[in-house]
Amino acid sequence: MESLQSAIERLASQDEKQLDRDARQTFMDFRDALTNGKIRAAQKIDGKWVVNTWVKLGILLGFRLGELSESRLDANLSFVDKDTYPARRFTVRDRVRIVPGGSSVRLGAYVAPTVICMPPMFINVGAYVDEGTMVDSHALVGSCAQIGKRVHLSAAAQIGGVLEPVNATPVVIEDDVMVGGNCGVYEGTVVRARAVLGAGTILTGSTPLYDIVRGQVYRATAEKPLEVPENAVVVPGSRAVTKGQAAEWKLSLYTPVIVKYRDQKTDQGVELEEWLR
């Protein structure tokens, strides 16, 4: 019997006319495995995050196979989307708290038991959200983003997604990370375990990260994404522009700054979250 991976890779390489009748059922099996967390878009191997390219190919295949379909909540509120990725319906057996107020999770996203979703928030296809995590109001978990255990994504936090190119690493937030309000983490950035991102911190593939504790500057390269070290406490900062007109005008540019590494005082500052659960 053809494995799911082989079947997805075969179907993804075919054009629309070549796709057979079984293509949609194969995709449905794939989507179920993705929703149940049996497969995922990226995984950690020997300390390094590795992309499962075939999984991302399968997600893209779902968009190709899907047809526009209307769904209704009531007589006045309707949605139109690909029928291969409808909104996921939860039950008490899932042990996921979905607080009333306009949140949505697409089928094809894994949401572990004990996750808390505050309204309104959105989790896109291919995302993986592990146990004990809170996704707060107006937060976004983008396609294929990998969120660890006991993470707090505060209000309006944006965790970027990436489907193409298929070999691109998605954003990764490891276990016990605190992401402050209005933070943005994009372009494959990896935030290592127990890091804290202060409110308003923006991390991208072109953003240098200045570590004033260790005297280092971290940057993304063609071979690896930007990484925030374990236990780092990152806040928004700025650096002076020293050349040209900008220097004369005394302008500065935004940059994230590591100001300390997590200690007992930091732990006490984020402890309130546990009481809210």
Specify the pLDDT at position 223. Answer: 87
Is the omega angle on the peptide bond into residue 208 within 30 degrees of 0, that is, cis? no
Which CATH number covers residue 9?
1.10.166.10
Specify the pLDDT at position 72. Answer: 85
Question: Is 265 within a domain?
Answer: no
pLDDT tens series, the chain, 277 aa:
469 999 999 999 998 777 877 899 999 999 999 999 999 999 999 999 999 999 999 999 999 999 999 988 777 888 999 999 999 999 999 999 999 998 999 999 999 999 999 999 999 999 999 999 999 999 999 999 999 999 999 999 999 988 888 888 899 999 999 999 999 999 999 999 999 999 999 999 999 999 999 999 999 998 899 999 999 999 999 999 999 999 999 999 999 999 999 987 766 656 545 545 5
Q: φ, ψ for residue 12 (rounded to 5)? A: -65, -25
Question: Is 48 within a domain?
Answer: yes
Question: Is 213 within a domain?
Answer: no
103: Cα separation from own chain's centroid: 16
Range of the domain at 36: 4-65
Question: Is 54 within a domain?
Answer: yes
The token pair that represents 65 in the structure block: 């196979």
Q: Are 144 and 56 in contact (CB under 8 A)?
A: yes
- Which residues are CB-neighbours of 136 under 8 A, at least 6 positions away? 118, 121, 152, 153, 154, 155, 157, 181
Number of domains in the chain: 1
Q: φ, ψ for residue 141 (rounded to 5)? A: -110, 110
Question: Is 27 within a domain?
Answer: yes
Question: Is 79 within a domain?
Answer: no
Question: Is 144 within a domain?
Answer: no
Specify the pLDDT at position 269. Answer: 59
Question: Is 14 within a domain?
Answer: yes
- Rounded to two decimals, the pTM is 0.92
Number of H helices, E strands in the chain: 6, 26
